[in-house]
Copies of this chain bind each other. A is one copy, B any other.
Amino acid sequence: MRRLAIAALALALAAPSMAKAPAHKASPPKPMADVVAASPASDWRPLDPQNTVYLELADGHRVVVELAPAFAPEHVANIRAMAREGFYDGLWIERSQDNYVVQWGDPDGKKPLTHKALGGAKSKLPAEYDRSSAGLGAFTRLPDPDTYAPETGFVAGFPAARDLKAHKAWLVHCYGMVGVGRDNPPDTGASAELYAVNGQAPRHLDRNVALVGRIVKGMELLSVMPRGTGALGFYDKPEQRIAIKGMRVAADVPAAEREKLEVMRTDSKSFAQVIAARRNRSETWFVHPAGRVDVCNVPVPLRAAR
């Protein structure tokens, strides 16, 4: 019994507790597991193999990243081109900073970043840190205040923010989001260095760096990498680095070897129910439903393709 202490945090239990349900609610929301179980097939979409890349670790494990061309089209095009050219082949996870980021790339800068060497990728990219809020498609807005942005929500599966007065929208740095490392000049992140958030959302990075996608599967492989003891969590010694085979565009991988995954559409009725479930946990364990939710605390459900 004690083994299951704080068990109900993630499990959806059968009997919702009415004890402290907010007074203005007729009934508590369905727990997330029930929402997922009841969702129609039309509320799911397969990952687009052109917008999916696999980070292949040398030990045979695979991390699945969904790319976000609507927000960072040139960086995404670079990542595709560089993956196809083999740029990431034989590189390393080179940095693991606790409660911040895990980073992979070319720590010694040995691979040239020229247009030619990159097989058509660009060595200089624009600062795709935000974009016009117009023409973005559905923005599933969360009803609760956010510390950093006027509005937060989801766009095509990604956590995002919006400032309608400034006509801008951008991706936000939630756990598992993938961005492009850069030096001080804001145009130096050709996509040679990629990082994933491994702790509390560093939202102060929003609009300071190009976010290019989200790890939809395999983050638990990266989050446990031993923390680097060098400055900023870089590995002090080359032998501490963790080798990667490379990155592959899913479309280039034989269909039989691809991950067959579907994510819930964030503009669906089911996802609206997921948000409701996360705002007020109705599982028995809870005595004080929050009535609020942060954009980085709403998971986008994932399942095996059917």
| A–B Cβ pairs within 8 angstroms, 6 of them | A5-B183, A5-B188, A9-B101, A96-B224, A200-B296, A200-B297
A2: which of B109, B220, B286, B288 is its contact (CB, 8 Å)?
B109
Q: Check B207 against A288 for contact (C-beta < 8 Å).
A: yes
Binds B, one of A36-44, A191-199, A249-257: A191-199
> Which residues on the B side are within 8 Å of A103 (C-beta)?
5-6
Q: Check A231 against B11 for contact (C-beta < 8 Å).
A: yes
- Could you list 18 further interchain pairs (A-B, Cβ under 8 angstroms) beyond the known A2-B109, A6-B209, A204-B281? A2-B192, A3-B109, A5-B188, A6-B193, A7-B231, A145-B146, A145-B147, A147-B294, A148-B292, A175-B199, A200-B296, A200-B297, A204-B286, A206-B290, A207-B288, A208-B286, A208-B288, A223-B227
Q: Check A204 against B10 for contact (C-beta < 8 Å).
A: no
A108 at interface by CB-CB < 8 Å: yes
Interface size of A by CB at 8 A reads 81
Instruction: Provide the A278-299 mask, 1 if CB < 8 A to any CB of B, else 0.
Output: 1001001111111011101100
> Which residues on the B side are within 8 Å of A231 (C-beta)?
7, 11
* 5 closest Cβ pairs, A-B complex: A5-B181, A98-B220, A5-B193, A207-B288, A220-B227
> Which residues on the B side are within 8 Å of A6 (C-beta)?
101, 103, 179, 181-182, 193, 195, 209
> Which residues on the B side are within 8 Å of A193 (C-beta)?
2, 5-6
A99 at interface by CB-CB < 8 Å: yes
A7: which of B5, B183, B206 is its contact (CB, 8 Å)?
B183
Min CB gap A176→B, angstroms: 7
Residues of chain A in range 204-237 having any CB-CB distance to chain B below 8 Å: 204-209, 219-220, 223-227, 231-232, 234
Residues of chain A in range 61-113 having any CB-CB distance to chain B below 8 Å: 94, 96-101, 103, 105-109
